[in-house]
Amino acid sequence: MVQDVHFRTPPFTLEDVGHKALAVNLSDLAAMGAAPLWFLCAVAMPRSFGAREVLRLARGMSALARRARIALAGGNFTASGAGGLSITITAAGEARRPLLRSGGRRGDLLYVSGTLGDARLGLAPRAPPFAVRRQRRPEPRLRLGLLAARHARAAIDLSDGLAQDAGHLCRASGVGAEIQVDRLPLSAALLRARRTREAAAAVALQGGEDYELLLAVPPARASAFERACARAGERVTRIGRLGGRRLRFLQESRLLDSPPGFDHFRDKVNPRPTEQARQRI
């Protein structure tokens, strides 16, 4: 995570930065159905930083680490030549049968966890506190990942938006997909902010950093998977199916243009959006 690319301080606090740096790595473990074991943390920081600033970073990171039961095994501190803050984390986990992006097969049902678009809403001016927290303090779906490993064939976490990340899964699995946009799970906060379901769904498709899971489940395992999620209190929604030669987005039966996702070399995660960015959000 790099200052002025992935976050700005303010509005992010150093506790937010520490939490999010670990959370996004834990989300990758969740997407592979892995139990966290340990992580390494390398921090490049401004020369103005002292013990107080380091402790604030650690406070946000350690609270999440305790909940995830993952141990800090080592790392490094250095001064940042550019003067900004940068955190690099390597997280390790263990899985008996890791979920891969490449495991999807034709006919598999697509499920997504939680609600989509809230983190993108959290960048908007006067965003509701719920959405701000989703942007600054994402919660990796570790428990769901472990549960899904017993049922799903493929998975990916949604860091760059559903539209783009679904494409990654399809390409790795060598298959197309149909996603029903009218079935996307949307929060009440996003629906209020965007006013129409169609506008809210556009945010859900394009907005990144939700860190929910997209799962490909064989039809024969779908009922058991849904029951297991209900028992565990994990919200999942069926939004489509793998099949065909390309990724298609449908509004009921109407074919939609494929929306763009987040591009690391074009877009910037900016908690204080420009006017142009506000219009995109």
pLDDT, tens only, 55-67: 999 999 999 999 9
Strand-by-strand arrangement of the 236-242 sheet: 154-157, 213-217, 109-113, 236-242, 177-180, 247-251, 254-256
CATH topology of domain 14-94: 60s Ribosomal Protein L30; Chain: A; (3.30.1330)
Nearest to 214 by CA among 163, 264, 171: 163
Domain residue spans of the chain = 14-94, 101-280
State which amino acid sits at residue 146.
L
Neighbours of 188 (CB within 10 A): 10
State the chain's mean pLDDT as an integer.
91
pLDDT in tens, 172-197: 999 999 999 999 999 999 999 998 99
Residue 114, C-beta contacts closer than 8 angstroms, at least 6 positions apart: 141, 185, 210, 212, 235
Say if residues 141 and 206 touch (Cβ distance below 8 Å).
no
Strand-by-strand arrangement of the 35-45 sheet: 71-79, 35-45, 86-94
Say if residues 46 and 84 touch (Cβ distance below 8 Å).
yes
State how far the Cα of 152 lies from the Cα of 30, in Å rounded to an integer.
Answer: 13
Determine the 3-state secondary structure of 10 from DSSP: coil
Residue 258 pLDDT class (50, 70, 90 cuts)? low
Most confident of 39-43, 249-253, 265-269: 39-43
Homologous superfamily, domain 101-280 = PurM-like C-terminal domain (3.90.650.10)
pLDDT in tens, 209-227: 999 999 999 999 999 999 9
